[in-house]
Amino acid sequence: MKEFPFTDTDFQKVSEKVYSACGIVLGPHKREMVYSRLARRIRANGLSNFEDYLAFLDSSSEQEFSHFINAITTNLTSFFRESHHFDYLKNKLIPKIKEDNRHSRRVRVWSAGCSTGEEPYSIAMTVAGEFPSDWDVKVLATDLDSNVLQKASQGIYSSQSVTGLDDGHLRKWFLKSSDGSQYRVKDQLKNLIFFKRLNLLEPWPMRGPFDLIFCRNVLIYFDKETKDTLFDGYHRMLEPTHGHLFIGHSETMSKERCDFKNLGKTMYKRIDAA
């Protein structure tokens, strides 16, 4: 028997609030996950049931809503996840960006849905040292969840979290704690990244253009209408001649879209629609 009653109406109301706030679709298969994560918030606030929690959420939205969203959003990531994206970036795209941006000497990459930071740090490790020292190279890393952003900006990871990195990366970009249990990202790498909380369904404050956008394992939470809205926005934000979008291995872009060229392996090049 569950600690707190959780009715169909409760689940529906939670789902509606999440979708309204950030476009994430919570199907019936997410019901147990929603229960376990929000039960913690009910306990933390000294409440008795989901009905009371939802009423509290409405009356104390400013202080509780970020906790509510943070509890629902899932964060699973690792360094150099889907490594073929980083291979393509290093071997194919960086030479092209060097040529196209030789006058502006400016490079911008956006990690949209950066979670605890492994993705933007992987991007930074890939681009660092590939451009002359007088170039302006920056990675924007955004996420809806303020808790994971705080962890990302600290750049401190357990020894288990860095098992996918080779010794060369660890020596060059990390400082190991005296007991070997933690690794801290060096400031040289951290300074390439700007972390910012952003709800993808709210107005985007940045102007672009971005040479690359990574939005991986984020789109799986959205319905088709929301995905198309995001793809429209990414298209506008990408540099016209070489802008590329990388999405997650389980995600797809509608074949009806003619403003991106599918390169395979969830890599897309921005093109002008015919």
78 band by pLDDT with thresholds 50, 70 and 90: confident
Catalytic residue among 37, 106, 184, 257: 37
- Per the annotation, the verdict on 236 as an active-site residue is no
25 band by pLDDT with thresholds 50, 70 and 90: confident
pLDDT in tens, 138-159: 999 999 989 899 999 999 999 9
Count the alpha carbons within 13 Å of 134 in the hemisphere toward its beta carbon: 3
Q: Where in the chain is the domain with CATH 3.40.50.150?
A: 83-270
- Is residue 209 reached through a cis peptide bond, with omega within 30 degrees of 0 on the bond before it? yes
Between the two ends of the chain, the Cα-to-Cα distance in Å is 58
- List helix spans (H) across 73-166: 83-88, 94-100, 118-127, 146-154
Catalytic residue among 10, 41, 143, 270: 143
Q: Where in the chain is the domain with CATH 1.10.155.10?
A: 8-72
CATH code of the domain made up of 83-270: 3.40.50.150
118 carries a ligand binding annotation:
no
Is the confidence at residue 60, as pLDDT, over 90?
Answer: no
- List helix spans (H) across 23-109: 31-44, 50-59, 61-72, 83-88, 94-100
| CATH class in words for 8-72 | mainly alpha
- Per the annotation, the verdict on 108 as an active-site residue is no
> Does this model's pTM top 0.75?
yes
Residue 75, pLDDT score: 61
Residue 75 makes CB contacts below 8 A (sequence gap 6+) with 115, 116, 145, 148
Residue 24, pLDDT score: 74
Report which secondary-structure segment, H or E, holds 168: helix 167-173
d(C-alpha 174, C-alpha 118), whole Å: 13
